[in-house]
Amino acid sequence: MFLSPFATEAVMTIEAAMTPEAPVIAPALEMRGITKRYPGVVANDHIDVEVRPGEIHALLGENGAGKTTLMNILYGLARPDEGVILLDGRETTIAGPSDAIARGINMVHQHFMLVPVFTVAENILLGEETMAGPIFLDRKEAHRRIVELGKRFGFEIDPEAKVGSLSVGWQQRVEILKALYRDARILVLDEPTAVLTPQETQEIFAVLRRLAQEGHSIVFISHKLYEVLDIADRITVIRRGKVVGQRLPSETDEDDLAALMVGRNVQLTVDRGDSKPADVALEVRGLEVKDDRGSVVVQGVDLDVRSGEILGIAGVAGNGQDELVEAIVGLRRPSGGRITLRGQDVTRASPRAVNEAGVAYVPADRHRFGLVLSFPLADNLVLTDYYRRPYARGVLRNDQAIEASAQERIREYDVRTPSATVRASTLSGGNQQKLVVAREFARDLALLVLDQPTRGLDVGSIEFIHRQTIAKRDAGTAVLLVSAELDEVLELSDRIAVMYRGRIVAIRDGRTADKNEIGLLMATGGQARAAAPVAETGPAA
Amino acid sequence: MDALINALYSIPLVGLVFQLGGYIIAVGPNVAPGILQAATPVALAALCGVMCERAGVVNIGIEGIMLTSAFVGWYAGVLLAPVLGTADLGPFGANPALVVALVIALVSGVLISWLHAWLSISVRADQIISGTIINIVAVGLTGYLNNLISKASPNGAGAFTQFKPPHELTDLPVVGWLLGMFLSQGPIAMSVIVIVVIFQVLLFRSRWGLRSRAVGEHPRAAETVGIDVIRVRYRNVLIGGVFAALGGAYLSMEATNSFQQEMTTGRGFVGLAAMIVGRWSPVGAFGAALLFYSSTALGNSIKFARPSGDLGTILVGLPAQLYDALPYLLTIIILAGVVGRSIPPAADGQPYEREATA
């Protein structure tokens, strides 16, 4: 009945209907007994979820708990083996995304489903084109509607802007507009804040609250506890494909939710203890690095990382962090500046030379760079030193030594696997990353470079990797941590450097850093205080 | 005025450029129709490329599709001529056998494209390999069959002829030569202009165009808004097949009235180059094809109508093979220089796999 976002009268009816004395309305969406089995796993095991009109309903669960499968079923991307979906109390089958859209269900995917070379208007129109006649698009009318929709939710958007040139925060808005343009009644957001700064997150939350007020139902998928507590009206927790509990934000807290989500009490924040920084291990001076297209994306970076400290680099993805890290580990040749490791110049050293100088590297993309997925675990564990004794005997492999060392490291780093001979591709994401960690951490290091070390991992694996990192630091290794997850940087770092458009715009002490300030610096580079000297906060010596 | 021109011509180097300009203006109107004729098969190949790649399917089998259609169209004419007769139907020298043979040629092109679509979209085979298979098989099969058939030296159904535009149009000042270029053509060459204009407008202004481009750039995004990626890709590859087949048919049914072994001589590949130089837009690809063959036309014209003065001495002194090689050289030079800024559709050549719907 409130199909059109333009039908303000209908919206008012809903608001009236939601007052306490009104009769109970059927849930906007009900999923009943949803079961989905994949070979070897039950992704969803009789899941019941109910979303009321105008409600923000959070689905909380670890990666792999089955949230995404459930939403794919709702969106018609997967078929349930059992169970029914009810919309406004009526049973429905959803055979594909176009079915879902026709029934007012829209999804904002974790990885934006936007075409970067298209304009905002083209992206919004796609699949739901406003037509002038049977063949041609009516761009004028589309533009008018987009601008009007934007205004209603408090932002001005240029329909002719290329989506690729927008910030992620704005791309997120385009995704939401896309859903609203289709008269979405039920909006599913899959980890919508994963790539946003805290400020952008708050702005999106404001939009979501506005939408809920107008009667839209919102399903908010997340594994960030404080966000869920902040935005949701109700929270459903899923673990291993089952609903393990439902909570109201007023009756729960982060510890309770974490325990529900993981199934045991977890320590959400690893106690990092005090660092004992010693001599400078990594010294970067005036570093300039170009990206693949030849533009300078690291512009004169100065950094010191001392032995026994963790330096975290916070920044919105794509501000030169990847190139900086690649230059340090030797994968990318800098176009200017100097990199010194314990006094030795490694500016143009090969990756192997850097590795042999005591640098370990956990790359951001474990599938493409961290592991050879089609190799057995044992081979993956010797990727960096297969050519050395005892793993090599002349030109031949020493299989016994490789196997023995693999067994030991698998045990030590708690990699859950049937054996060391299975392919790396058979492991879960968390175990794959533990495998990378087992290879990189298991020797004496001068410098440990971590690029997004816990992206996409479950809480348990994150906890493990964080502990190992702290242990490495306490053993006197210098650690450089790059993460798009500001929380991770805040949690682990002894010092935090903020990177913005290829420059380090600020360095803050990790214990006293203010999350909002860092978020603002990430988003704006802190133009207001751009003049502040970069090295103002020295290491906590 | 003449004094001024003479003064300009006499400056070294700059003078040569002016002489060349003057020469091109002088011979242009005469060679212009020939340029479009030479460019027609390449332009059609390029349009096929644009049609497929905009939807994310790389098609290097265009050469093979053209060759197949050239053969099938010609041989269908041979078979049909005694049955349907070759009575002149009026415009363009069309006769019943020729028209039906053309339709059969187009159908053959669509069928081969179907094979490519099936291999690269449904089977998700490597698209380069699928295209290569088509090219190799087309050369082998048409060559072999042609050997068998041509021993009997059969008579075909003839060829389409050119339209003769009225003098009043072609003699118009300034635009007359352009009208002559576009109108002094057979039906297939003339259709290229129509196809280019319609294709260009639809690609950027219609629902079909928007969806095709989305499928070529970000198929998953297209699927999440309810677009059937597989269907869009099939459709575009099949339509592209019509274009390539038209290009092949042009060779054996309009430019000549016979089939020769490997008569496409790499035009399918030059078409792909034109597509890249034209940045995956129909008008751009067409323009690139015209540019390539303008250079050939210039070379030919220099052979037969030697420019006067220093320019003539220099140009005639260059080896004749250089002019034959010009379109290919130009392709290489432009690709090397321009391709860096010419960006293909993001999902070009990537097979699309639906999300796990098991």
Closest C-alpha to B226, from A3, A137, A96, A108: A96
* DSSP track, B127-186: HHHHHHHHHHHHHHHHHHHHHHHHTT--------------HHHHTSTTTHHHHHHHHSS-
Type of residue at A70: L
Q: Which residue of A has its CA nearest to B203?
A: A136
Question: How far does A453 lie from chain B, in Å, by closest CA?
Answer: 26
The least confident of A441-455, B45-59, B203-217 is A441-455
Q: How many residues does chain B have?
A: 358
d(CA B343, CA B278) in angstroms, rounded, equals: 11
| Chain centre distance of CA A417 | 26
What residues of chain B lie within 8 A of the CB of A70, using their CB? none
Please report the pLDDT score of residue A16 as a whole number: 44
| Structure confidence at residue B355 as a pLDDT band (50, 70, 90) | low
* DSSP 8-state code for residue A423: B
Q: Is A106:A178 a contact under the CB 8 Å cutoff?
A: yes
Kindly indicate the confidence band of residue B95, based on its pLDDT and cuts at 50, 70 and 90: confident
What are the tokens at A2?
Answer: 């409130």
More confident residue, A329 or B306: A329
Alpha helix segments (H runs only) across A280-376: 321-328, 351-356
d(Cα A185, Cα A323) in Å, to the nearest integer?
A: 42
Contact residues, chain B, for A41 at CB < 8 Å: none
What is the DSSP secondary structure assignment for residue A346, as one 8-state letter?
-
Task: Name the amino acid, one letter, at A413.
Answer: Y
Q: What is the mean pLDDT of residues A495-515?
A: 91
Contact B80, B86 (CB under 8 A): no
| Nearest alpha-carbon partner for B104 in B78, B142, B135, B132 | B78
Q: In this model, does residue A150 exceed pLDDT 80?
A: yes
Q: Residue B135 — pLDDT band, cuts 50, 70, 90?
A: very high
Write out residues 227-256 of B within 8 Å (CB-CB) of A. Answer: 227
Q: What percent of chain B has pLDDT over 90?
A: 47
Mutate to test the interface with A, among B198, B210, B348 (most CBs of A within 10 A): B210
| For range B330-345, the mean pLDDT | 73
Q: Are strands A82-87 and A90-92 parallel, antiparallel or unpaired?
A: antiparallel
Buried b (16+ CB within 10 A) or exposed e, A424-433: beebebbbbb
Q: Which of B206, B214, B346 is closest, CB to CB, to A137?
A: B206
How many angstroms separate the CA of residue A519 from the nearest CA in chain B? 29
Å between B81 CA and nearest CA of chain A:
40
pLDDT at B1: 61
Instruction: Give, for B235, the enclosing helix (H) or strand (E).
Output: helix B229-250
Segment A16-43, tens digit of pLDDT: 444 444 456 788 999 999 999 887 778 8
A323-354 pLDDT per residue, tens: 999 999 999 999 999 999 999 999 999 999 99
How far from B163 is each of B38, B90, B159, B178, CA to CA, in Å?
16, 11, 13, 15
Nearest-by-Cβ selection for A127 from B226, B346, B355: B226
From the CB of residue B27, how many other CB atoms can be counted at a distance below 10 Å?
18
Residue labelled with tokens 């535009």: B165
A406 vs A168, residue with greater confidence: A406
Q: Is B217's CB within 8 Å of A114's CB?
A: no
Dist. CA A457–CA A431, nearest whole Å: 9
Which residues in chain B (282-311) have CB-CB distances under 8 A to chain A?
Answer: none
Point out the residue among A116, A118, A136 whose CB comes nearest to the CB of B205. Answer: A136
Q: Are strands A478-483 and A310-314 parallel, antiparallel or unpaired?
A: parallel
Of A75, A100, A125, the CB nearest to B210: A125
Question: Which A residues 125-154 touch B at CB under 8 Å?
Answer: 125-129, 131, 135-137
Taking an 8 Å cut-off on Cβ atoms, the answer to whether B207 and A118 are in contact is: no
> In this complex, is the C-beta atom of A164 within 8 Å of any C-beta atom belonging to chain B?
no
Q: Rounded mean pLDDT of A55-62?
A: 90
Q: Tell me if B226 and A101 make a contact (CB, 8 A cut-off).
A: yes
Instruction: Mention every residue, 6+ apart, whose C-beta is less than 8 A from residue B1.
Output: none
> What confidence score (pLDDT) does residue B88 get?
78
Please determine, for residue A6, whether its predicted confidence score (pLDDT) is greater than 60: no
Q: Is the pLDDT of residue A184 over 80?
A: yes
Going by pLDDT thresholds of 50, 70 and 90, the confidence category of residue B271 is very high
Is A203 an interface residue toward B (CB < 8 Å)?
A: no
Name residue A49's beta-bridge partners.
A31
Q: pLDDT tens for residues B160-194? A: 888 888 887 877 777 888 888 888 888 999 999 99
Question: Which candidate from B205, B213, B226 shows the least CB-CB separation from A137?
Answer: B205
Torsion of CA A256, A261, A263, A265, to 10 degrees: -40
* A98: contact with B, CB 8 A cutoff: yes
Do B218 and A114 make contact, defined as CB atoms within 8 angstroms? yes
Instruction: Using an 8 Å CB-CB cutoff, list chain B residues near A141.
Output: none
Interface predicted TM-score (ipTM) of this complex, two decimals: 0.84
Q: Is A9 exposed, middle or buried (0-12, 13-18, 19+ CB in 10 A)?
A: exposed
DSSP structure class, residue B345: P
User: What contacts A376, CB < 8 A, 6 or more positions away?
Assistant: A420, A421, A422, A423, A424
Q: Which pLDDT score, from 0 to 100, does residue A11 have?
A: 43
pLDDT at A246 over 50: yes
pLDDT on residue A529 = 47
On the question of pLDDT at B246 being above 70, the answer is: yes
CA dist., res. B113 & res. B143, Å (int): 20
From edge to edge, which strands make up the β-sheet containing A503-509? A359-362, A447-451, A478-483, A310-314, A495-500, A503-509
- A3 vs B46: which has the higher pLDDT: B46
pTM of the model: 0.76
Cβ contact A241:A63 at 8 Å: no
Q: Give the C-alpha distances (Å, rounded to integers) separating B335 from A379, B53, B299, B342.
A: 42, 17, 21, 9
* pLDDT, tens digit (0-9, with 9 covering 90-100), for A197-234: 788 888 889 989 999 998 999 999 987 888 899 999 99
The pLDDT of residue A54 is 92
Say which of A38, A79, A97 has its CB closest to residue B225: A97
Residue A24 is predicted with a pLDDT of 62
Instruction: Kindly write down the DSSP assignment for every residue of A128-192, as one continuous string.
Output: S--EETTTEE-HHHHHHHHHHHHHHTT----TTSBGGGS-HHHHHHHHHHHHHHTT-SEEEEEST
Which among A101, A116, A136 has the least Cβ separation from residue B225? A101
| Interface contact B210-A114, CB threshold 8 A | no
Cα–Cα distances (Å) from A296 to A234, A290, A318, A427, A470, in that order, read 47, 4, 12, 38, 33
Q: Cβ of B224 and A109 within 8 Å?
A: yes
Q: In this complex, how many residue pairs, one in chain A and one in chain B, have their CB atoms less than 8 Å apart?
A: 78
Token pair 């340090």: residue? A328
Residue listed under structure tokens 């599938």: A367
Length of chain A: 541
- Greatest extent of chain A over all pairs of C-alpha atoms, in Å: 84
Say if B346 is an interface residue toward chain A (CB within 8 Å). Answer: yes
If you search the block for the tokens 């635009």, which residue do you land on?
B175
Structure-block tokens of residue A319:
């501000």
Determine how β-strand A478-483 pairs with β-strand A186-190. Answer: unpaired
How many other CB atoms are there within 10 angstroms of residue B52's CB atom? 35
For A90-103, the pLDDT digits (tens) are 999 998 888 999 99
**Helix intervals (H) in A382-485:** 399-412, 429-441, 459-474
* Structure token digits, residue A256: 């309770």
For chain B, give the mean pLDDT.
86
Give DSSP secondary structure letters for A47-93: EEEEE-TT-EEEEEE-TTSSHHHHHHHHTTSS--SEEEEEETTEEE-
B152 band by pLDDT with thresholds 50, 70 and 90: confident
pLDDT at position A166 is: 84
Asked if residue A444 lies in contact with residue A420, where contact means CB atoms within 8 angstroms, the answer is no
Contact between chains at A78 and B205 (C-beta distance less than 8 A)? no
Interior angle at CA B50, CA B47 and CA B54, nearest 5: 155
Does A113 sit within 8 Å of B210, measured CB to CB? no
Q: Which residues of B touch A97 (CB under 8 A)?
A: 223-226
Put simply, the answer to whether B222 touches A127 (Cβ < 8 Å) is: yes
pLDDT band at A110 (very low <50, low <70, confident <90, very high): confident
DSSP, collapsed to helix, strand or coil, labels residue A428 as: coil
**What integer is the mean pLDDT of A55-75?**
87
Of the listed ranges A286-300, A347-361, A446-460, B331-345, the one predicted with least confidence:
B331-345
Query: Which segments within chain B are labelled E, that is strand?
Result: none
